Amino acid sequence: MNFELDDVYQDLQATVRRIARDHVAPRARAIDAEGTYPDDLFEVFRSAGLFGLCIPEEYGGSGAGILGLTIAIEEVAKFSQTAGLMLLLSRLPTGPVMIAGSEEQKRRYLPGIADGTQRASFGLSEAEAGSDVVGMRTRAVPDPDRPGGWILSGRKSWISGVRQADWYTVFAKTGDPTSRRHDAITAFIVERSWPGVDVPRVDHKMGVHGVDTGELLLDEVRVPPENVIGEVGGFRLAMLGLNAMRPVVAARGIGLAEGALMYATTYVRNRPAFGGRIADFQGIQWELAKLATEIEAARLLTYRAAWLADQGRFTREWVPFLSMAKYYATELAVRASSVALQLLGAAGYMSDHPTELYYRDAKQLTIVEGTSQVQLNLIARGVLDQHLWWDDPEGAFTTGW
């Protein structure tokens, strides 16, 4: 067992760390304040090849996998969740294509993401169907004028990067829209330029400004048969795609927690109080120590989850391990941002310091791509179904042993 990153990943980590310090850190507060998409950072990431990290080499990427993307996001998320989300969007919408897409789809849509000439988004949630995915109402009916084609109608909500995207991975009901059967849902690639595709509004968010989140309206959008991802009735594809994303979202949480702790540590080391420094107090030191330990635990969970995902181990039996990483790292981000703000006191609540930004951005992570409560359900199911480290062939752990 080797806990060291190999040379390729270490070089990637060092490169992205420099980019984060030189380009992301100086822009983070302005991006939050202005709320406009940071095209300058996009160009920096594009030039460095960061959008192709998780895309295989044969489709224009570097083949660094989910682990490579996880490492990169952790570094930029120390300063900006917006930057982390920009990189995340190179994997979320492309995941279903890489898992179940045709060779034609892969060659048509993946290279543009890898080289930064195109951007994509992921349309799954709806206003009344967030965690309850099978409650979606977006409908796909067969196109009478084109065999194998479909006509999509509906409204998707809370789509990150919705206004910047050139195409979307969209899930819709190909069966009865009131049905809760898993085989009633199918994935499609929908291009922004097609008739009937519109972005009627963007949301006003508490944090993670700079990457628009909003609605995608589909008004009788004609989708050709070659843009159906995988098989008709592919609800499982949505779950596989999300399962593989758990470590990527977790990386955003680790990065935020690290950034908040690093900033607060610098502050308490230099802030005089009661004839000494804030850092001299044991109570303060214990808070720093607890956060440092939790960050290290979260990183181990997350890197293992990324390794599992790169091995294709994101099916049901592996879900608890992936969910543990997402749950623990994102909840840690909330705790770390709260502790960091508290360590700065009144100063931390002011926009003079990034602690209030960390605090606002952190909460989003416990909601997106499966809430903390959803992750707990998935972990608990793994325990009850004995998919974890279970070794009790003789029933030794029965009641009363």
CB 151 within 8 A of CB 141: yes
In angstroms, rounded to a whole number, what is the distance separating the alpha carbons of residues 18 and 300?
23
In angstroms, rounded to a whole number, what is the distance separating the alpha carbons of residues 33 and 24?
14
Q: What are phi and psi of 185, to 5 degrees?
A: -115, 140
**b/e string for 328-353 if b means 16 or more Cβ within 10 A?**
bbbbbbbebbbbbbebbeeebeeeeb
User: Across 115-256, where does the E strand assignment appear?
Assistant: 120-123, 139-142, 150-160, 167-173, 185-191, 197-198, 213-223, 228-229
Cα 120 to the center of its chain, rounded Å: 14
Cα 229 to the center of its chain, rounded Å: 21
Report CA dihedral (360, 362, 363, 364) to the nearest 10 degrees.
100
Contacts of 49 (CB under 8 A, 6+ apart): 62, 114
User: Quick one: which H or E segment has residue 277?
Assistant: strand 276-277
Contacts of 398 (CB under 8 A, 6+ apart): none
Query: Exactly one of 4, 220, 369, 394 is catalytic; which is it?
Result: 369
- Does the active-site annotation cover 215? no
DSSP states along 145-157: TSTT-EEEEEEEE
DSSP type of residue 207: S
Report CA dihedral (9, 13, 19, 25) to the nearest 10 degrees.
150
User: Quick one: which H or E segment has residue 321?
Assistant: helix 319-344
User: Quick one: which H or E segment has residue 273?
Assistant: strand 272-273
Nearest to 243 by CA among 188, 189, 310, 181: 310
In angstroms, rounded to a whole number, what is the distance separating the alpha carbons of residues 391 and 116?
47
Point out the residues that are catalytic: 369
